[in-house]
Amino acid sequence: MKDIVNAKVKFRERLARVVISVVSICATVMLLEIAIRIIKPQDIGFWDSHSIRRLQNTPPHFVENIPHGRANLFGVQVSINSYGLREDEISVPKPPHTFRLLAVGDSITFGYGIPVEETYVKVLEKRLNENAPANIRYEVLNGGTIGGSLGDYYHLLNQKSEALKPDLVLVGLALNDILVYSESGSILEQRDEQSHGQGLVLIRKLNRFLLRYSQLYIFCYARLKSFLYGSGILDINTVQGLNFVALAPSSAYQKEAWQSSLRMLSKIVEFCRGRGYRIAVIVFPVEMQLSPAELHFYRDQYHLRLGDEALSGEPQQRVREFGATTGVTVVDLLPAFRAYHPGDLYLRNKMIRADASHLSIKGHRIAADEIFRVLKHSLVDTTCPATEDRNRKPGRGCG
C-alpha cells in the first residue's frame, strides 16, 4: 500500500513539473511575442496571400487570383483587377491597334516580392512599346498565380482568354512545374511525400497559422527554416521535394513527371492554336544551375538531392526539343543568366535569406531583355496594325 502511495506522489510531482514547464514555456513565448510587437513590430501580412489568392472549392482545386484582391505581400503592394490579373483594369474588348500578350505562370511571373512595374512582364511591355511603330501599342498582361502550375495555367486560359483575346500567350515555365498531372490538371504527388502526407499537412497548417498571427514566428521564420533544413531536422527533399524533381537524380518518378508535364504543355499549345493565339514558352533557370559553387552550396547547406543535370542544362534541353518538335518558340534564359553573378539575380531581403527560384529586380530585367531579343522580330510586321490575321503562319508578320 505504501508503494502505491509513493508511486502516486511521484506521478503527481512529475506531472506538476511538466505542467510548470509547459506554463513557463508558454509564458516566455507570450512575453517574447509582446516584446517583439513593442520593440520590433513585424509586418503581419508579409507572408499572407489569402486576400489575393484562393483554391477552387471543387476538384481539381485550381489556384486562381481573387478579383479586386489587395494585399501588402512579401513587402510590396499587390492589386488584382476584375479579371484576376495582377494589373490595373484593362479594356475589354481589346482596343484597336493593340497587340496583346498574356503571360501565364507561377509566382515568378506574378512577381514574388517585386513591385508589378519591375516584373519581367511589365519591363517587356516597356521594351516593346519603346520599339513599336506609331500605329501599334503593346500590352503584356500578368496572369501569374502564386503556387500555380501547368494545370492552373491551362485553367486560366480556358476561363479568361475568350474575353482577353491575346495575340500571343507567354507560358512562364518554372522547373518546379515538372510534375505528374492528372487528366484534369491536378498534381499527383510522389509516393514518398504521400507516406508523410498527414504530418506534412499538419506542419503546413501550423506554419500558415503562425505566419498569419504570430509576429515572433515571423521574426524567426527565415532563420528557423534555414536552421531546420541545414541541420537535417526537416528534410527539404520531403517538405519541398516536388520543387526540384526536374533537377534530382534520374528516377522513375522524374521520367513520369517529364512525360506528364510535356503532355500538359502540349494541351496548352493545342488550346492556344485552336483559338488562333500564338504561343511561346519561357524557361526560368534556378540558382543552382548557374555555377558549380551554387550547386554545391544548395547540396551542402540544405542537403538537396540534386543531380549533375542541373549544371548540364538538361531540363532546358528537354523543353527546347519539345519546342523544335511542336514548332513553339522557346526562350531559354539559362545562357543569359550565366553571364551574371548568381547572387544578383535572385530575391534577397531581410525576410528572405536565400531563394533559388524567385527573381530579383535585376533578374526580371534580364529576363525581359532576353525575351524581347528573341521575340521582337517574330511578333508583328512593323508596317501593319495589330489586328491579328488568324490564318497567317507563325513568324510571317501580318501577311
Other CB atoms within 10 Å distance of the CB of residue 6: 10
Q: Residue 69 is which amino acid?
A: G
Q: Are strands 76-79 and 70-73 parallel, antiparallel or unpaired?
A: antiparallel
53-375: CATH superfamily: SGNH hydrolase (3.40.50.1110)
- Name the pTM for this structure: 0.86
pLDDT, residue 265, reads 98
- At 89-113, the pLDDT tens digits run 999 999 999 999 999 999 999 999 9
Q: How confident is the model at residue 192 (pLDDT cuts 50, 70, 90)?
A: very low
pLDDT, residue 348, reads 82
The answer to whether 84 touches 120, Cβ cutoff 8 Å, is no
More confident residue, 47 or 293: 293
Whether pLDDT at 384 is above 70: no
Q: How confident is the model at residue 194 (pLDDT cuts 50, 70, 90)?
A: very low
Whether pLDDT at 232 is above 90: no
- At 211-229, the pLDDT tens digits run 888 888 888 877 777 766 6
Compute the average pLDDT of residues 270-291. 96
Compute the average pLDDT of residues 288-312. 88
- At 160-181, the pLDDT tens digits run 999 999 999 999 999 999 999 9
Other CB atoms within 10 Å distance of the CB of residue 197: 10
Compute the average pLDDT of residues 270-299. 95
The answer to whether 295 touches 279, Cβ cutoff 8 Å, is no
Whether pLDDT at 397 is above 80: no
Q: Per 3-state DSSP, what percentage of the chain is helix, strand, and coil (rounded to 5)?
A: 50, 15, 35
Whether pLDDT at 248 is above 80: yes
pLDDT, residue 386, reads 39
Compute the average pLDDT of residues 307-311. 85
72: its cell numbers: 501588402
**For the ranges 245-259, 282-296, 340-354, which has the lowest average pLDDT?**
340-354
pLDDT, residue 239, reads 53
Whether pLDDT at 382 is above 70: no
Nearest to 149 by CA among 169, 174, 170, 168: 174
Q: How confident is the model at residue 385 (pLDDT cuts 50, 70, 90)?
A: very low
- Asked if residue 60 has a cis previous peptide bond (ω within 30° of 0), the answer is yes
| Average pLDDT taken over every residue of the chain | 86
